[in-house]
Amino acid sequence: MKEFGLFIDGEWQAAKGGKTAPTINPATEEPWATVAVADREDVRKAVAAAKKAHDTGVWRNKSPQERGEILQRVAMAIFERQDEVAAAEVQDGGGTMRKAMSMDVPGAAQTFMHFGQFICGDEYKAMIYEEYDETVPIPSKNLVVREPIGVCAGITPWNFPLIMASWKIAPALAAGNCVVLKPASVTPVSSLMLAEICTKAGVPAGVVNVISGPGGTAGEELATHPDIGKGAFTGSTEVGRRIMQLGAGTLKKVTLELGGKSPNIILDDANLDTAALGALFGTFMHQGQICESGTRVLVHEKVHDQFVEKMLAGIKRIQIGDTMDMTTGMGPLVSSSQREAVEKYVGLGQEQGAKLVAGGKRPSSMGKGYYYEPTVFDEVDNKMRIAQEEIFGPVVSVIRYKDDDEAIRIANDSVYGLGGAVWSSNKDRAVAMAKRIETGTVWVNDYHMINLRFPFGGYKQSGVGRELGKWGLAEYHELKHIHVGEDTPPEGKFYLQLLLN
Ligand code: NDP
């Protein structure tokens, strides 16, 4: 069994209380590694290491070019250890090796590469330093500079542990901050490995710290610690709300990326072959455990029957099986409790009158593991709980509509607003629809195509702030205005007369 400590101040450390916990492989239901469990004191130690690193200037005083080169080295180092990191991701979280090698590892490496390259370029130079000459209210030169915040905390979920850790760490470091990251307790290993990779690639000790520990103690310590300037969280809306409340005590900047119930709208002029497979990809990729999954498929009544038929035919092409087999398309859910949550919702869907047309049970072919069949409910009413609540499993609701206005009304009838899509052979019509959907990302004729160069985040209860691109990077800076006045005798300062006779 592999063993992992906490990664604090550039080295592996045991938890102060000596506590460890096993992490379970969801495909075998067996433990495969043990990981040190941080309590509040360990978190305070990690924050102190990050604060010391920030105060000494060992990272923030490097030029963007120097930081950028190190981040690009981190990207290469992730690729060098890709087999080991991908295997950890699969064994911790239950995703497939196929996904880990083509999404998680490259996605994480590209995040470091993207931010590393961006801060070496002119656009970043222009972003962090602007100059304006003014005559009002008094002649002055005005500098607007962006500076690092200090110590940033990341709290991440179990669905994409490595990518989520990268989305928190890479932009924070790019901006010159130090980081303490707490991964989800069920999937801590790849984030711990990433901390070691960063350090070996040249990120100074103390700049990146990763500690695994329970959300209720280690997470809350981070969310309240006075030396944390910013918290970035991805996870459930409920915990996001709590983190915002906790952060209010010290008025931290908080960005939240939360749940979703995203609409995937099929217009009557869509290419149905592609859209039907796109709808499967949009829902069943990673067993549906993706926040922006298109879990409500809204289909025009004219093409509804044909579309559902194509979806059901497509499902037969999804292979459930051994996560390490590169032909497997769907692995198990992350935990038995997550599968139970899915089963509860499938029961609710049936009780409320939705028509179960595929799945709805554990696959008989898999003796072990938290597997669940890809499940389709047809004739769903948007008021049903399966259409309103985030299930976070392989369950999709197909909802009929009769015209564009009704599709938009249904799409926006949700407390969430994270992702969504419109499928149509008329791009102008699709973009016009996209503009009317209350959501942070809309794909036209695609799904799940998150792009590191562009902002990602939610409207409504799906989040606060944005990650990725220059917009996400901006969230990791403080903004400062420096007014440089003229060096004149007192007569040159008109405002003195407001006080002095
Ligand atoms: P949570 O929101 O509970 O967990 C996400 C992260 O927050 C974990 O690191 C967790 O730690 C931590 N955390 C939990 N409670 C606190 C707290 N009080 N203070 C600070 N940190 C805390 O997600 P779950 O894993 O429980 O999943 C529940 C549901 O959330 C899912 O069914 C799904 O609907 C949604 N979800 C959404 C995700 C998204 O990407 N938007 C991702 C994952 C889940 P620990 O692991 O130790 O509990």
Closest ligand 1 atom, residue 214 Cα = 47
Residue 472: its pLDDT value, please?
98
Token code pair at residue 143: 């500098």
Compute the distance between CA of residue 471 and CA of residue 417 in angstroms, rounded to an integer. 18
Residue 135: its pLDDT value, please?
97
Residue 427: its pLDDT value, please?
98
Residue 171: its pLDDT value, please?
98
State yes or no: is 152 an active-site residue: no
Distances (CA, A) of 290 to 218, 319, 417, 450: 24, 19, 14, 12
Distance from the alpha carbon of residue 188 to the mean position of ligand 1, in angstroms: 13
pLDDT band at 10 (very low <50, low <70, confident <90, very high): very high
**What one-letter code names the amino acid at 166?**
S
40 lines ligand 1 (CB under 6 A): no
215 lines ligand 1 (CB under 6 A): yes
Which of 236, 290, 336, 459 should be mutated for ligand 1, with most atoms under 8 A from CB? 236
Residue from 89, 257, 373, 475 carrying the catalytic annotation: 257
220 lines ligand 1 (CB under 6 A): yes
Residue 87: its pLDDT value, please?
98
pLDDT tens-digit map of 303-326: 999 999 999 999 999 999 999 999
Compute the distance between CA of residue 94 and CA of residue 393 in angstroms, rounded to an integer. 13
Question: Who's near 409: CB < 8 A, 6+ residues apart?
Answer: none
Averaged confidence pLDDT in the chain = 98
pLDDT tens-digit map of 331-389: 999 999 999 999 999 999 999 999 999 999 999 999 999 999 999 999 999 999 999 99
Which residue, chain included where needed, has tokens 């392989």?
394
State yes or no: is 257 an active-site residue: yes
Compute the distance between CA of residue 439 and CA of residue 261 in angstroms, rounded to an integer. 10
CA-nearest of 265, 280, 294 to 424 is 265
Residue 185: its pLDDT value, please?
98
Token code pair at residue 46: 């990690």
Write the DSSP assignment of 144-162 as a string of letters: EEEEE-SEEEEE--SSSHH
pLDDT tens-digit map of 18-66: 999 999 999 999 999 999 999 999 999 999 999 999 999 999 999 999 9
Is the preceding omega at residue 137 within 30 degrees of 0, hence cis? yes
Distance from the alpha carbon of residue 159 to the mean position of ligand 1, in angstroms: 10
Beta-strand pair 421-423/6-8: unpaired
Residue 206: its pLDDT value, please?
98
pLDDT tens-digit map of 60-87: 999 999 999 999 999 999 999 999 999 9
Residue from 198, 291, 373, 475 carrying the catalytic annotation: 291
Question: Who's near 83: CB < 8 A, 6+ residues apart?
Answer: none
**What one-letter code names the amino acid at 230?**
K
Question: Who's near 171: CB < 8 A, 6+ residues apart?
Answer: 115, 467, 468, 472, 473, 475, 476
Average pLDDT over residues 404-427: 98
Q: Describe the chain by its helix, strand, coil percentages, rounded to 5.
A: 40, 20, 35
Residue 406: its pLDDT value, please?
98
pLDDT tens-digit map of 108-164: 999 999 999 999 999 999 999 999 999 999 999 999 999 999 999 999 999 999 999
Nearest CA to ligand 1 atom 14: 215
* Statement: the pTM of the whole predicted model exceeds 0.85: yes
Task: Judge contact between 46 and 180, C-beta under 8 A.
Answer: yes
242 lines ligand 1 (CB under 6 A): yes
CA-nearest of 281, 289, 278, 180 to 225 is 180
Distance from the alpha carbon of residue 247 to the mean position of ligand 1, in angstroms: 16
Nearest CA to ligand 1 atom 10: 215
pLDDT tens-digit map of 259-277: 999 999 999 999 999 999 9
pLDDT band at 426 (very low <50, low <70, confident <90, very high): very high
Q: What percent of the chain has pLDDT over 90?
A: 100
Task: Judge contact between 185 and 262, C-beta under 8 A.
Answer: no
Nearest CA to ligand 1 atom 44: 235
Distance from the alpha carbon of residue 95 to the mean position of ligand 1, in angstroms: 17
Residue 190: its pLDDT value, please?
98
Which residue, chain included where needed, has tokens 């290491």?
49
Distance from the alpha carbon of residue 235 to the mean position of ligand 1, in angstroms: 4
Residue 332: its pLDDT value, please?
98
Residue 4: its pLDDT value, please?
98
Compute the distance between CA of residue 300 and CA of residue 310 in angstroms, rounded to an integer. 14
